[in-house]
Chain A
Amino acid sequence: MGINRRDFLKQGAFLLAAASQAGWISKAVTAQDEPMIEAYPGAGIETWKCSVCRLCPGGCGIKVRLVDGRPVKIEGNPLSPVNRGGLCPAGHAGLQVLFNSDRISTPLKRVGERGENRWEAISWEEALQLFYDYLLKLRNEKTPHHLLVLDGESRGLQKRLLERFLEAYGTPNYFNLSSQEPSSLPFLLMHGRKNTPGYDFQNTRFILSFGNDFLDSEGPPSRMAYLFGELRQNPGRNRVKIVQIDPRLSTTAVKADRWIPLNPGTYGALALGVAHIMVVEGLYNKTFVENHTFGFEDWVDNKGNSHIGFKTLLLKEYYPEKVSGITGVPIDDIIRVARSFAENQPGIAIWGRGVTNHSNALFSQMAIHALNALVGSINSPGGILEAPPEPPTGLPPLVQDKLAQWGSAQSPVFQYRGAKLPATMESLAYLLDNIQSGEPYPIEVALLIHTNPLFELPEKERFQKALEKIPFVVSFSSEMDESSIWADLILPDHTYLEKWDLDYEVPQLPFTQVTISQPIIQPRFNTRHIGDVILSCARLLGGSVQKSLPETDYRGLVQKEAEALFRSHRGFITSGQFEDFFQSFLSRRGFKYQEFATFEEFWEALLKEGSWLEIPQPVSDLFPRLSTPSGKFEFFSQTFYHQYKALPHHVQNVLKSDSPLSMALSKGDQAFLPHFEEPNVNGDSIEYPYFLYPFSILTLFDGKMANRPLLMEMVGFRRNVQWDSWAEINPETARELNIRHGDWIWIESPRGRVKVRAHLYPGAMPGMVYLPLGLGHTASGKYASQKGVNPNDILVFDYDPLGGSIARNSTRVKIYKASVA
């Protein structure tokens, strides 16, 4: 009996649906790798454990369902104040992290040449001794600052532990390599504080988003999705207006009230154009600007020197015709955005990776943040709030011996020629250059903590060369990723579902929360918690290092920190949205109802419910003194200005004439005001006529999630693409190039070329091509490897010289059909 195509598809669809319902598919996929969750006889007793998702910086609370002690499903924890039960696809795929067959199951010591990927399994005793010997050697040689930590993930207690260890050990070289952390530098320059403030989305009426795809890959994604529903559909409040400014019709742009495409890298100019209209039409909050800001009007310093103010700069330089010419945004749209933002207050102007992926990132961020000050959305409900306080700690006071004090005081290796500017001039570029040159000192030991720079960074050869200069590289990865292959020693960490931790410091939250991570099951392999490795080293090093970290195991430290929460009498254990509201209703009035008689009761509740929450007091109607020199919000950053002026003249001259800052500093006062700098563009515009725009996707983020088959299956679910990359091109551009939907094309830059299928997308701007990040691994497991292309392979390494962020959106390319090549 024959079967035709239609019948085959029908029956196939039916079987697929039935299999999905029965849970066969997930079993089949994982069962290939993991006999542990094959069908087994058991009583079928169901239990749930609360923990926290660590697959992105979102900090979502999760609940893991276990049947007879075996984890079978992850869901969002409805009690979590971050995500209120929501969870993104990556979070749902968490079990494929736990049961991944590509995990490193034991400590490994390199036996071949670096990069050969030849290893010898060793015991933990041997591995720790090896690691400890290097740490001890640096201390014995009075060079503890030759230790470098590159951290791509740590936050909360683990970060606190690492910082404490490095301070006690004696090195200033702790570099955050997370590509997903928002930059807090604008807040330092304009607010006087480096902490990322809280964003009061729940009470806002308008979100003016500059390149922040907050409904997709910028986070915390589950929180933003939950908030989006609240802000747009809750009958008890006005529908929040969203304007998305982005060169790509992203998920957020699709859902926004208005999408405004603009030329890449011109966000700052547009923000200043909007500000210009607000000032000219008198739409800004004059009371706030007059009373709580500095540098809006022209001013004279105490030496009698005149300085231009933000207003003068705006009126002179950022009139609509000019801004429209820079950005490509019609004048009418600039005016409409300005009026709409001013009329719908309170509102927030936010930025995302669309902005920070350019060489002019910092000044663009300052320009966007200036809009918040113009409407008075600083320390006000519905606007930008003070950073919530950190949770209390139970760690003993830091003890530093003389060597540690000296080592910690050395100029970090990631600074530009040791320049001590407030805009710290910390950059990966300086780090790599300095490691290569051995200046101001060599790095002898590097720790790679859950970071994969050889995949995530453009021009990976630069990083590879830097690694080659470092005698001893240790990776804590639990999978053999592209960077770990270049390590000398691998000390595999547990996965987040096997470890104890306390998670906090989720960016942009307007409250303090601590979510507990507890082992869902015992570690499956011979792995070890990175916290336990650090504590072991502290114990072996003894002296002030041990005194600073006296705990013997990380679980004990978690419990001690939890006890500090309990003893602080601050906050409460979350127990639901209404309950949390009511607890905060009481605490804002000075009352506290939820009390636990003993720490044991508190601990039990924390394990059961998942999170501890502290809602800050209501925003004061008395505007607080900010930590800036003027005590006000500074359009003209005196923080930056004073420290620059405090540098010796010859250093100033070097910075002015021969530094990445030369262009900005040559503009006089403008350098300290929000202004527009032309973004760097790499590649000749005639040979490479198109602009390459890599973008992050919800399913893979920076690529660490690529070895999860579930996510690869849905990697391009909005474009109907699985297990592969795609290139978004505007249909008009494609027509000019004679490219059809689905054609194989080459995208070639001065750095190289990648072959990918074309996806014609009307949401792509003409003259641009868009590639998703996260695919194109050459290692990192069988599901990730050789799937799709990695845009970083063809990006030119560029960066923001002041803010330090990688300028991923600065490479020009040419495009042609693969058959032409």
Chain B
Amino acid sequence: MFNIRSKPIKYLILFILLSPLVKLMAQEIQLPSQPLEGQKLFLSKGCVKCHSIFGEGGKVGADLGRTQANKNTMDIVAAMWNHSWEMNRAMLRGQDVPQLSPQEMGSILSFLYYLKYFDEPGSPSEGKKVFSEKGCIECHQVGGIGGKSGPALDTLSIYASPVFLAQKMWNHGRRMVRKIKQKGLKVPRFKDNEMADLLAYLQSVSPVKPSLPRYSFPGSPQRGERIIKEKGCLKCHRVNGTGGKIGPNLSEKRFHEGVTKIAGRMWNHAPKMWKKMEELGIQPPRFQGNEMADVIAYLYFLGFKSIPGELAQGEKLFHEKGCIQCHAIDGETDSKKVGPNLARTKGLNDIISISAAMWNHNIKMREEMKKQNIPFPRFSGEDLSNLLRYIRSLREQENGDE
């Protein structure tokens, strides 16, 4: 007779929950078209009842804007996994644990990751310093203050988004840099939120109060990927192992930052890039509409995917976390272990599906583990990556043996 308390069943449940990890790293994560779509699920699934985003929402759970944004998939999944224990307890007070399809899980993960794409609003007082210290004031006027050799910047207050400011500077930058150099001035470089600060200053002192301010549409990683290819950026830059090696590798972590920071970095990088492109006879790309926001969203989302785990670390974890006690590996038969042989697991196909499965089954697992007095395994994002790398190697070995 079926007895849920029996050891085989108990370990079967554990297996069901852990087995999806097998394929966790096997496939690429699909870039979202619009990560903010996940916000609707954040509401409809009731996450907002307990969790807040930058202070708005429920206060029972953590503020996910502050704790999870800009973390890679494995880190967010690990955080969800680890907190499921506490969350279940809170939810037993009257709410159902939201069930997530793989698509929904992907949307929510993308949404949370995306939140730090948006940098803080600019500070007019900091912008005033930028305007002065970076030397903008030497050539440009705003609110009647500043030099006159360059155009007045009052009308830039029409831009609500610093991305447009960056895009305008990028497109007109070559001429501007030439003039700066002719005057023997230093080409301004931007760091952190300085570009947003500068725009905030322009907006606050400009006599031009736009009736139709221009807002940017939140960047689409999918569109950004297409634009990067179309603009020929990959001739010089490398992304995910493909592309040129003349420019920096855009998969590096330093490019997975907020939109203002990256816009500033693109500007800083531009003079060097133009020079190199001139040498190579390539026309510098120009951006229009929402293109720069999309490109930056793409670069930002390159950090969504976790770094590949380490085999040796994964093997170590597999033993330390007790997986070995239940799951068969390397030729052992399933009957000797309560859990199935992870090397032979079939089922879920990608990281998002596995994450959703882990999430949806965690109540059953919690109940079973409580009955059996088994400690709940907690993972860091890195742990999960390593573990999956190891498990994947088991499968590869198994497939090779076959």
Q: How far is the CA of A545 from the CA of B203 in the complex (A)?
A: 37
**Within 8 Å CB of B48, what residues of A?**
578
Judge if A593 is at the interface, Cβ distance under 8 Å. yes
Assembled-state Cα–Cα distance A590/B117 (Å): 12
Q: Measured between alpha carbons, how far is A579 from B42 in the docked complex, in Å?
A: 10
B217 and A593 within 8 A (CB): yes
- The majority secondary structure among interface residues of chain A is loop
Within 8 Å by CB of A586, from B52, B118, B159, B163, lies B118
Q: Which residues of chain A (582-627) have a CB below 8 Å from chain B?
A: 582, 585-593, 595, 617-618, 620-622, 624
The residue on B at minimum CB distance from A588 is B121
Establish whether residues B56 and A591, one from each chain, have CB atoms under 8 Å apart when the complex forms: no
Q: Which of A567, A581, A622 neighbours the largest number of chain B CB atoms within 10 Å of its CB? A: A622
Establish whether residues A589 and B161, one from each chain, have CB atoms under 8 Å apart when the complex forms: yes
A41: interface (CB < 8 Å):
no
Proximity string of chain A (514-553) to chain B, C-beta cutoff 8 Å, 1 when within and 0 when not: 0000000000000000000000000000000000000000
Any B CB within 8 A of the CB of A660: no
Asked if residues B39 and A592 are in contact (CB atoms below 8 Å), the reply is no
Task: Report yes or no: B123 in contact with A586, Cβ–Cβ below 8 A.
Answer: no
B36 at interface (Cβ–Cβ under 8 A)? yes
Q: Contact at A569–B215, with CB atoms within 8 Å? A: yes
Taken together as a complex, chains A and B put the C-alpha atoms of A648 and B141 apart, in Å, by: 42
Known: A392-B211, A617-B203. A578 touches B162 (CB 8 A): no
Q: Nearest Cβ in chain A — how far from B156, in angstroms?
A: 12
Q: Quick check: is A570 within 8 A (CB to CB) of the other chain?
A: yes
Whether A570 contacts B213 by the Cβ 8 Å rule is: yes
Q: In this assembly, does B32 line the interface, its C-beta being within 8 Å of a C-beta of chain A?
A: no
Q: Is A576 an interface residue (CB 8 A)?
A: yes
A821 to B36: give the CA distance in the assembly, Å: 75
Q: How far, in whole Å, are A587 and B43 apart by their CA atoms in the complex?
A: 20
A589-B118, A590-B159 as given contacts; A622 in contact with B128, CB under 8 Å: yes
CB atoms of B56 and A578 under 8 A apart: yes
Measured CB to CB, the nearest residue on chain B to A584 is: B56
Let me know if A23 is at the binding interface, CB within 8 A.
Answer: no
B119 contact set on A, CB distance < 8 A: 589
B121 touches A593 (CB 8 A): no
Bound complex: CA of A582 vs CA of B164, how far in Å? 21
Q: Quick check: B160 and A590 within 8 Å, CB to CB?
A: yes
B121 touches A589 (CB 8 A): yes
State how many angstroms separate the Cβ of A65 from the closest Cβ of chain B: 24
Shortest distance from the beta carbon of A291 to any chain B beta carbon, whole Å: 12
- Encode contact with A along B198-219: 1 for CB under 8 Å, 0 otherwise: 0111011100000111111110
Scan B52-82; emit 1 where CB is below 8 A from any A CB, else 0.
1111110100000000000000000000000
Specify which chain B residues have a CB less than 8 angstroms from the CB of A590 in the assembled complex: 159-164, 196, 199, 215-216
Quick check: A593 and B218 within 8 Å, CB to CB?
Answer: yes
| B278 proximity list for chain A (CB < 8 A) | none
Q: Is the interface of B mostly helix, strand, loop or mixed?
A: mixed
Nearest Cβ distance between residue B137 and chain A, in whole angstroms?
Answer: 15
- Chain A nearest CB from B142 CB (Å) reads 12
Q: Are B212 and A568 closer than 8 Å at their CB atoms? A: yes
> Which of B54, B125, B162, B215 contacts A585, CB < 8 Å?
B54
Q: How far is the CB of A570 from chain B (nearest CB, A)?
A: 7
- Enumerate chain A residues within 8 angstroms of B162, measured Cβ to Cβ: 590
Asked whether B334 is an interface residue with its Cβ less than 8 Å from the other chain, the reply is no
How many pairs, one residue from A and one from B, have CB atoms within 8 Å of each other in the complex?
88
Please report the C-alpha to C-alpha distance between residue A5 and residue B128 in the assembled complex, in whole angstroms: 80
Asked if A235 CB lies within 8 Å of chain B CBs, one says yes
Chain B: minimal CB distance from A444 (Å): 39
CA–CA, A617 and B210, complex, Å: 13
Any B CB within 8 A of the CB of A236: yes
- The digit string for B204-241, where 1 denotes a CB below 8 A from any CB of A, is 11000001111111100000000000000000000000
**Complex Cα gap A95–B217 (Å):** 43
Whether A582 contacts B53 by the Cβ 8 Å rule is yes
Assembled-state Cα–Cα distance A595/B119 (Å): 21
CB of B120 within 8 A of chain A?
yes
| A interface residues, how many (CB within 8 angstroms) | 29
Q: In the complex, which residues of chain B have a beta carbon less than 8 angstroms from the beta carbon of A568?
A: 211-212
For B36, what are the chain A residues with a Cβ–Cβ distance below 8 Å? 593
Q: How far is the CB of A595 from chain B (nearest CB, A)?
A: 7
Q: Using Cβ atoms and an 8 Å threshold, which residues of chain B touch A567?
A: 212
A129 at the interface (CB under 8 A from B): no
Q: Tell me if B124 counts as interface (CB < 8 A to partner A).
A: yes
* Proximity bits, A227-252, B CB within 8 Å = 1, else 0: 00000000110000000000000000
**Would you call B59 and A235 a contact (CB within 8 A)?**
yes
Taking CB atoms, residues of chain B closer than 8 Å to A587 are: 160, 215
Number of B interface residues at 8 Å Cβ cutoff, please give it.
42
> How far is A591 from B128 in the complex, measured between Cα atoms in Å?
22
Instruction: State A589–B296 Cα separation when bound (angstroms).
Output: 15
Q: Across the interface, name the chain A residue whose C-beta is closest to B63.
A: A236
Interface presence of A11 (CB below 8 A)? no
At the interface, yes or no: A577 with Cβ under 8 Å from chain B? Answer: yes
Those of A560-584 within 8 Å (CB) of chain B: 567-570, 576-579, 581-582
CA distance A278 to B10 in the complex (A): 70
Interface residues of B in 13-47 (CB under 8 A from A): 36, 39, 43
| B59 lies within 8 A of A591 (CB) | no
Per-residue CB contact flags for chain A residues 389-428 toward chain B (1 = under 8 Å, else 0) read 0001000000000000000000000000000000000000
Contact of B123 among A235, A582, A595, A621 (CB under 8 A): A621
Knowing A585-B118, A590-B216, A624-B204, say if A236 contacts B160 (CB, 8 Å): no
User: B residues within 8 A CB of A622?
Assistant: 124-125, 128, 201, 204-205
Which A666-690 residues have C-beta < 8 A from chain B?
none
Q: Chain B 84-99 against A: per-residue CB contact (8 Å), 1 yes, 0 no?
A: 0000000000000000
B104-138, CB under 8 A of A: which get 1 and which 0? 00000000000000111101111010000000000
Smallest distance from the beta carbon of A622 to chain B beta carbons, Å? 4
Question: What are the interface flags for A429-462 relative to B under an 8 Å C-beta threshold, 1 for contact and 0 otherwise?
Answer: 0000000000000000000000000000000000
Closest to B34 in A: A593
The answer to whether A578 and B215 have CB atoms under 8 Å apart is no
- In the complex the two chains form, what is the Cα distance from A569 to B212 in whole Å? 6
Task: Point out the residues of chain A lying under 8 angstroms from B213, CB to CB.
Answer: 569-570
Interface string of A778-806 (1 = CB under 8 A from B): 00000000000000000000000000000
Q: Are A236 and B55 in contact, with the CB atoms below 8 A?
A: yes
Shortest CB–CB separation between residue B260 and chain A, in angstroms? 8
In this complex, what residue of B is CB-closest to A590?
Answer: B161
CA distance A581 to B199 in the complex (A): 22
Provided the pairs A578-B48, A585-B118 are in contact, do residues A591 and B124 lie with their beta carbons within 8 angstroms? no
Instruction: Verify A592–B204 contact, CB threshold 8 A.
Output: no
* B118 nearest CB neighbor, chain A only: A589
A591 in complex: contacting residue of B54, B55, B161, B199, CB < 8 Å: B161
In angstroms, how far is the closest chain A Cβ from the Cβ of B206?
Answer: 12
Using Cβ atoms and an 8 Å threshold, which residues of chain B touch A617? 121, 200, 203
Q: Which residue of A lies closest to B199 (CB)?
A: A590
Complexed CA–CA distance, A413 and B160 (Å): 44
CB < 8 Å: which of B57, B124, B211, B214 contacts A621? Answer: B124
User: Which residues does chain B contribute within 8 Å of A581, judged by CB atoms?
Assistant: 53, 56
- Asked if residues A592 and B215 are in contact (CB atoms below 8 Å), the reply is yes
**A224 nearest CB across to chain B (Å):** 21
> Given the complex of chains A and B, what is the CA–CA distance between A578 and B119 in angstroms?
19
Q: Which residue of A lies closest to B204 (CB)?
A: A620
Q: Which chain A residues border B54 with CB–CB below 8 Å?
A: 585
Residues of B within 8 A of A579 (CB): 39, 43
Residues in B lying within 8 Å of A, measured CB to CB: 36, 39, 43, 48, 52-57, 59, 118-121, 123-126, 128, 159-164, 196, 199-201, 203-205, 211-218, 293
The 6 closest A-B pairs by CB, nearest first: A590-B161, A592-B215, A622-B124, A581-B56, A590-B160, A621-B125
Listed A/B pairs (18) with beta-carbon separation below 8 Å? A236-B55, A392-B211, A569-B212, A576-B43, A581-B53, A582-B39, A590-B160, A590-B161, A590-B216, A591-B215, A591-B217, A591-B293, A592-B160, A593-B217, A593-B218, A595-B217, A617-B203, A622-B125
Told that A567-B212, A569-B215 touch, could you supply 6 new A-B pairs with CB distance under 8 A? A236-B59, A582-B56, A589-B196, A590-B164, A591-B293, A593-B36
